[in-house]
Structure 1
Amino acid sequence: MTNIIFRRALAADYPEILALHRKNLVSNLSELERQNGFLSIDFKDDFHLAALNENLAVMVAEQENLVVGYVCATTQEYSQEIPLLKYIMSLYPDIMFYGQPLSNYHSFWYGPVCVATAYRGSGILQGLFQALLAQVATRFNAGVAFVVNDNLRSLRAHTQKLGMEMLREFEFNGKFYFILGFAVPPLPPS
């Protein structure tokens, strides 16, 4: 992972982020390619990315002026209009996280995240995660993510490499997902 810069996204990065995102959408991948991870939901356009970045953060990993990875984060309030996220938030009172209901935490949404295929396994995911945590650490004490249950590479990356805790499986509109949680700052491995 030489010469990788982790930083907040700029408007000039949005076309590259969108291209990377769309290249990794589940609808654009073969069954074999999906085993290497995929994204489930598309972005509308540059304005959508700008709104996400303004709300909380879009972080990029850049190498030689090329975006090779990104991670987005939004506030719970921003996400109230998205049916899937609204449903997940309705489960918070019943999800225990370090001995308390998830609803007791001031949390944010982590994701989507994507690393270009050639860069996967090189530490970029961890670098993006640390850069994001540096942006949000003073405002939140927990982060929440979700992964569709057949995206095993993403699930392993987030639980094994980033130490996120699998909190619950649930069904929404005929698909099954896992809710993941993590403390901010992250707790040391036990």
Structure 2
Amino acid sequence: MIRQATIDDIEALVALERRHGRDELNRDERLLEAQLFGRDEFRQLIEKEILLVAAVDGQIVAYAMAASERFFGKQGFYGRFFSRALRCGPDAGRKIQKLGCYGPVWVAPAFRGKGIFTPLTAALFDACRARFDTLATFIAEENEHSLNVHVKAAGMQVVDFFEDEGRGFYLLLK
């Protein structure tokens, strides 16, 4: 079941972040920082942004989020990311009016490859239509699996490649 996250989900989401928040990093990258959310960030996502969860037998097994630039702030990596995404906007002379940042999206290891990602991201994209005209995300260069699934299953388009603090990222738009 895919649904909007509620305040009652916060403790489970925080526990998932603590347990699996660095899953995408391989052994050689354990010193890198992953974007991890705490109670305050999850509360903001639920109350002011878009956060969906997939639950099986009452347990959250996946989540996906989209947020405005306001959520991330204009400083540091996200400020540069939003600026770059706006410059890489769609063709045909259409300017991005309302840009949102898609992700992270997370699926429990036991449920990966079991058909949760595609309906979860489709539901998220649908929930975002009224708020954002374009969603942007970034995927680390070495995370080939994530890049492939976002292009093939989520229908996102790679529009740029950039480096930030010595690490390469693909920029994708939907």
TM-score scaled by structure 2?
A: 0.86
Q: Deviations over 1:32-77 (max 9, x none)?
A: 9x9xxxx93111x211111122221110000111000001110123
- Equivalent of 1:21 in 17, 21, 35: 17
Q: Which residue in the other structure is 2:156 paired with?
A: 164
Q: Which residue in the other structure is 1:11 paired with?
A: 7
TM-score scaled by structure 1?
A: 0.80
How many correspondences in the alignment?
Answer: 171
Q: Which amino acid aligns with 1:17?
A: L
Quick check: 1:118 aligned with 2:114?
A: no
CA distance in 2, matches of 1:84, 1:64: 37
CA distance in 1, matches of 2:19, 2:119: 22
Task: Compute the RMSD of aligned alpha carbons.
Answer: 2.4
Gaps of 5+ in 1: 183-190
Q: For structure 1, which segment, 169-178 or 61-70, has the greater mean C-alpha deviation from structure 2 after superposition?
A: 169-178
Q: Which residue in the other structure is 1:47 paired with?
A: 40
Q: Which runs of 4+ in 1 moved over 6 A?
A: none
CA distance in 2, matches of 1:64, 1:143: 30
Query: Aligned-pair distance for 1:90?
Result: 2.1
* Change over 3 Å in CA distance of 1:154–1:90 after alignment to 2: same
Q: Is the 8 A contact 1:69 1:114 kept in 2?
A: yes
Gaps of 5+ in 2: none
Q: Deviations over 1:100-126 (max 9, x none)?
A: 47x534221101110001111122111
Q: Is the 8 A contact 2:11 2:39 kept in 1?
A: yes
Quick check: 1:86 aligned with 2:82?
A: no
Residue aligned with 2:73, SS: helix
Query: Aligned-pair distance for 1:99?
Result: 3.3
Residue aligned with 2:142, SS: coil
Q: Which amino acid aligns with 2:13?
A: I
- What percentage of aligned pairs have identical amino acids? 26
Q: Is the 8 A contact 1:52 1:58 kept in 2?
A: yes
CA distance in 1, matches of 2:27, 2:80: 28
Quick check: 1:127 aligned with 2:123?
A: no
Q: Is the 8 A contact 2:103 2:137 kept in 1?
A: yes
Query: Aligned-pair distance for 1:20?
Result: 2.2
